[in-house]
Chains A and B, each alone.
Chain A
Amino acid sequence: MGGYRLKRILYITTYIIPAAVVWGVIGLVFGILNSIPLLVPLLALVYALWFGMAESLGFSMFIPGSTWQVPASWIDGRPEAAQTITWGTILGPGLITRNPYAGIWLLPFMVGLGRGLLASLVVGIAIGVAHGGARALGVLSNRKYMQDTTLGHLRILGAELRWSYVDGIALLLAAGALIAYTLSLLGAHIY
């Protein structure tokens, strides 16, 4: 039991560490971009509003991002530890493989809203930890369903549709908040 628990912790860690590093760097880059007045909030607002409406109303729309998938040759025949490190490094940050949710690309803009570079770095690392950890837990909890391909894929399809709606609602919440924030930056007296 102890060995199983340790294995799970190591598995989750291999997702979290690369994600924290990658998102920390993104935090720094977008923290620097935030020195340009209004750029980051306006881009975030347009993105959140557009994709929030699309996802919450159920319009089929191209979600930006890569369609690249991990080649089988990178996994097949490799030791289990090497496979886990490969999956963790690639899937943990969540940026280079297919992502069905538009929310992922709002995160760099949100990181840039931090007050100063240090805040952006810390928020970036926290986002990496949250994404990588949740991704690893999702994979672990769905392993048993993946073994039954038909039922597993149906279940995943249904879950993705529901998740997409929740993601759209989160984007619209952000869009509303960003409208207020952008107006406040413009000096509008809305309250």
Chain B
Amino acid sequence: MIEAWVSQRHIRLFLSVGTLLSGFAVAMLLIRYRDFTPATAIFSVSLAALVGAGKLASP
């Protein structure tokens, strides 16, 4: 049910723009009050795991 809802184009666009703005806001807060670099490292490692686990097609 969630999948059908998310697959609607206007919902997708809304979520995409919302995610972009969220990334901007979180980074802005990190740069202002904390350290941005460790957050990029944590994000990169998580993205690597996501991409690695998602490659299911072979062997």
Residue ranges of A at the interface with B (Cβ–Cβ < 8 Å): 23, 49, 52-53, 56-58, 69-70, 75, 87, 91, 94, 97-101, 103-104, 106-107, 110-111, 113-115, 119, 123, 126-128, 130-135, 137-139, 142, 146, 156, 159-160, 162-170, 172-181, 184, 190-191
Contacts and interface: CB of A to CB of B under 8 A. Distances in A.
A131 B20 CA distance: 24
Contacts of A134: 48-53
B44 A97 contact: no
A53 B52 CA distance: 21
- 8 tightest A-B CB contacts, nearest first: A176-B23, A134-B52, A177-B27, A163-B54, A180-B27, A176-B24, A131-B52, A134-B53
Contacts of A123: 41, 44-45
Chain B interface residue number, banded: 35 or more
B13 A135 contact: no
A42 to B, nearest CB: 15
Contacts of B57: 98, 100, 156, 160
10 contacts: A56-B19, A57-B13, A103-B51, A123-B44, A138-B53, A160-B54, A169-B15, A180-B24, A180-B27, A191-B31
A113 B45 CA distance: 13
B31 A184 contact: yes
A175 B44 contact: no
A184 B30 CA distance: 11
Contacts of B24: 176-177, 179-180
Contact of B22 (A135, A137, A138, A173): A173
Given A131-B48, A131-B51, A134-B50, A177 B26 contact: yes
Contact of B45 (A53, A130, A159): A130
A76 B30 CA distance: 51
A191 B19 contact: no
Contacts of A135: 52-53, 55
Contact of A115 (B6, B31, B37, B55): B37
Interface in B20-40: 20-29, 31-32, 36-37, 39-40
Given A107-B51, A110-B44, A181-B27, 7 more contacts: A69-B58, A91-B55, A131-B49, A134-B49, A169-B16, A170-B50, A191-B28
